[in-house]
Amino acid sequence: MTPPAGARRDPAPRPAAGHKAARAVTRRWSPDHETRLYLAAHPVAYPLMRLLARLGPVVRVPGVGVVVNDAAAARAVLLDERFRKDGPGSPGDLWTPVLGPSVLLNMEGEAHAALRRRLAPLFAPAQVASLVSQVLQAPLAALSARLARGDTVDLVDEMRLMAGAVICRLIGMGEVSPDDARALFADGERIVSMVSLRSRRLSARQISAAREVLDRVGAIAAAAYARGEETTVMGRMRSLGLSEAEARGAAGAFFLTGTETVATFVPRLVALLHDAGVRPDGPEHLDRAIEEAMRVTTPTPVMLRSVAAPARVGRVPVRPGDRVLIATHNCARAYGPFDPARTHPQELRRLWFGAGPHFCIGYPLALAETRAVAGVVLSAHVRVVGRKAARGVLIPTYHHLWIRAVPP
């Protein structure tokens, strides 16, 4: 497959900064590829968001809320129970109408902690490693063969298929065909794209469209729950003592949070490494590159909280009903451009997966999927030979990223 006309063809990786040619080229500002992705996804909101970063660590913005641009202030909010996910202006406002009231990401307090405790064993590293190796074995072998043949591969399409297949299995489907996985991915993408960086609520029409898809996801989950097989995630939820309603809700939450985030990240990681001319040697180096690419890309660029009691965010006083918007992307980008050798200070540590009681429960799964695919792609010595940014999406991403293996 060759990139079609109109797609941006990629030159060889840029020379390292400091090189004479690089200095001459960078004199006229031209956005790097990551910035282009953000601009394509959010042509108006992204420049505004970056502008806010210059106004201070915490800024009150009329109509938006209290915006946090600083990693330490963001972490303090995430660890403080006065900032909640179930009040006005919180993610609960967006997702409760479609997912129901008890799906982790709109819960607080003891009920939230109890559900997390029950779900945690499903995401233990050994558990997710076995899920990923079972589901991705065949697609990764096929990808590896295509790269070895010298084919040009669209890594975006491959990731949609693979991340879709992992979530299909997680929510209780048995054998998953590539078409099922792609279709499920596209369904999830349609729902997530209903949200913009400024959305507070979904419209009635959006809620009913989202419910239609989530009812199908719920039905698959409920059937797997009823079968109760210990080898499926839904079956294990049943044996862990979760009710059918809880298992359905969890399936919907995993579907919405765990598909696009991973699928969009892996092509961005591969592109960043290509553009920096870096090829990780060994798992430790790859893990560092993954964390640094997470920092630069921040697949979930903002987090929302609703203020439940008077408090301060940095120096800004807040009162009940205020909305706090953590601009994770601004917090993370304050530390500079992509550099896989960078160490992350304590306040920044994995902020892109949240912090405190709502820290991403799917983190081990996201890492296992990323490691598995990146391992195969990078060991094939690939180059990016073409790319196209996606428009009209919530999570900035490539619409296509064409890669081809080059002999070492």
Q: Is 262 in the site for ligand HEM (CB under 6 A)?
A: yes
Among the residue ranges 172-180, 189-197, 208-216, 261-269, the one whose residues contact ligand HEM (CB under 6 A): 261-269
List the one residue from 353, 376, 385, 389 that touches ligand HEM (CB under 6 A).
Answer: 353
Q: Which CB sits closer to ligand HEM, 268 or 404?
A: 268
CB of 75 to ligand HEM, least distance (A): 11
* Contact assessment for residue 36 and residue 45, using Cβ atoms and an 8 Å cutoff: no
Told to check if 118 binds ligand HEM by CB under 6 A, we report no
Question: Measured from the CB of residue 389, what is the shortest distance to ligand HEM in angstroms?
Answer: 19
Least distance (Å) from ligand HEM to the CB of residue 397? Answer: 11
d(CA 367, CA 294): 11
- Cβ nearer to ligand HEM, comparing 253 with 273: 253
CB of 17 to ligand HEM, least distance (A): 27
Phi then psi dihedrals of residue 83, to 5 deg: -105, 115
Q: Which residue has the tokens 């799917």?
A: 362
**How many other C-beta atoms lie within 10 A of the C-beta of residue 265?**
26
Q: Is residue 300 near ligand HEM by the rule CB under 6 A?
A: yes
Q: 257, 306, 330, 397: which one contacts ligand HEM (CB under 6 A)?
A: 257
The binding track of 329-348 with respect to ligand HEM, each residue x by CB under 6 A or -, is --------------------
Determine the Cα–Cα distance for residues 258 and 256; give it in Å rounded to an integer. Answer: 6
C-beta of 299 vs 386, nearer to ligand HEM: 299
Binding residue (CB under 6 A) for ligand HEM from 261, 306, 330, 397? 261
Nearer to ligand HEM, 222 or 385 (CB): 222
- Residues whose CB falls within 8 Å of the CB of residue 17, separated by 6 or more in sequence, listed in order: 26
- Nearest to ligand HEM of 338, 386 (CB atom): 338
Smallest gap from Cβ 61 to ligand HEM, in A, equals: 19
Site for ligand HEM contains 99 (CB under 6 A) = no
- 188 makes contact with ligand HEM (CB under 6 A): no
- Residue whose CB is nearest to ligand HEM in the complex, by number: 362
Contact 380, 28 (CB under 8 A): no
Q: Judged by CB under 6 A, does residue 263 bind ligand HEM?
A: no
Q: How far is the CB of 358 from ligand HEM (least distance, A)?
A: 4
The gap from C-alpha 325 to its chain's centroid, in whole angstroms, comes to 17
Q: 7 vs 180, which CB is nearer to ligand HEM? A: 180
What residues between 363 and 382 interact with ligand HEM by CB under 6 A? Answer: 365-366
CB within 8 A of 88, min separation 6: which ones?
A: 306, 321, 323
Kindly tell me which residue out of 40, 66, 73, 104 binds ligand HEM, with binding defined by CB under 6 A.
104
Given 40, 58, 105, 318, the residue binding ligand HEM (CB under 6 A): 105
Interface ranges with ligand HEM (CB under 6 A): 104-105, 116, 253-254, 257-258, 261-262, 265, 299-300, 303, 352-354, 358, 360-362, 365-366
